[in-house]
Structure 1
Amino acid sequence: MPATTTRSQPDACSLLDADHRKVKKMFKEYEELTKSEAASASQKKRDLANEICTELTVHAQIEEEIFYPALREAIKDTDLLDEAEVEHASAKDLIAQIMDASDVDDKFDAKVIVLGEYIDHHVKEERGEMFPKARAAKALDLIEMREQLKMRKEDLMAEMAGATA
């Protein structure tokens, strides 16, 4: 199979990036809700914030369990991975604050918006630096890893759905 065909196949990076796009859209929806005066906006914001937090928690976990360790073994420059893990820790702290919040107030909105800004920064680094390095690493089978990430993500989403039901 020619290399050009392989490169266009969905790989681990494209799966992770699909998550990025989905969550970015959710953050935009949240920002629109912050402008609403409707009484129902508060519950919609709470529900959307919970959904964002679930998506990000699962995304971070599959990166930390599968993608980052494989990439750490395959590339020399691991500073980028160290930074990504610190960014995950900051995001997890904000996620916990959002999930534990009893009121959907201005502070709640601020936390969700700042989380969105953290994630934007994180995504830019992954897209601009980490994904190109992963795709250039000959030791990584990103097509196979995509399947691993996908299966683990499905398991975690099912677990989290069961925990909130």
Structure 2
Amino acid sequence: MPPPTPYENAIDLLDADHKAVKQLFIQYDALCEDGAPAEDKQQLAEKICNEIAIHAQIEEEIFYPEVRKATGDDALIDEAQQEHAAAKEAVAAIQGMSAGGEGYDEAVQGLARLIDQHVLEEREQIFLQAQYAALDLRGLAEPLARRKAQLKKKSAPKKAKEAA
């Protein structure tokens, strides 16, 4: 039997991700203000991009389908998935840039604004609807946490190879 998830429910887990990524963006801004080396900013930007990719994937694979089924609100989930697509495009653009290059910081800060807007809408709309729907949010926390751990483990060896 897998260990219990440290989250009360699916929304707590997803919102913890939101808060963690927000903190990473704050750290990135601090690096910019301090004139940190490009490689430090790139490492942090890669971590941000990885966290966003994992978060989006668990929402798209597990959370959004369940919310869609429970609420029947296709338009709301479709919009959230379009926002994810925009974030993925921004992530790909950042990953294709040089951290020391022109526009890199602006691209990361643009991603931060995209994510802030998405999180606000998700909290005010999707999470709210999910809380009032016939949806087992407690039960969803475990598969979300398990899938997140799988994705993190899968992305870790790639990072270790790149560092070598």
TM-score above 0.5: yes
Structure 2's unaligned 5+ residue stretches are 1-6
Matched ranges for 1:11-160 at <5 A:
11-38=9-36, 41-138=37-134, 140-160=135-155
Taking every aligned residue pair, what percent have the same amino acid on both sides?
Answer: 44
Tell whether the 8 Å contact from 2:38 to 2:99 is kept in structure 1 after alignment.
no
1:114/1:30 CA distance change after superposition, 3 Å:
same
Q: CA deviation at 1:19?
A: 0.2
Give the alignment's Cα RMSD to 1 decimal.
1.2
* TM-score (normalizing by structure 2): 0.90
Secondary structure, in 3 states, of the residue corresponding to 2:77? helix
Aligned position for 2:3: none
Point out 4+ residue stretches in structure 1 off by more than 4 angstroms: none
1:76/1:89 CA distance change after superposition, 3 Å:
same
Q: CA deviation at 1:44?
A: 1.2
Structure 1's unaligned 5+ residue stretches are 1-8
1:148/1:159 CA distance change after superposition, 3 Å:
same
User: Matched residue pairs, number?
Assistant: 154
Amino acid at match of 1:161: A
Aligned position for 2:4: none
CA distance in 2, matches of 1:51, 1:95: 11
Aligned position for 1:163: 158
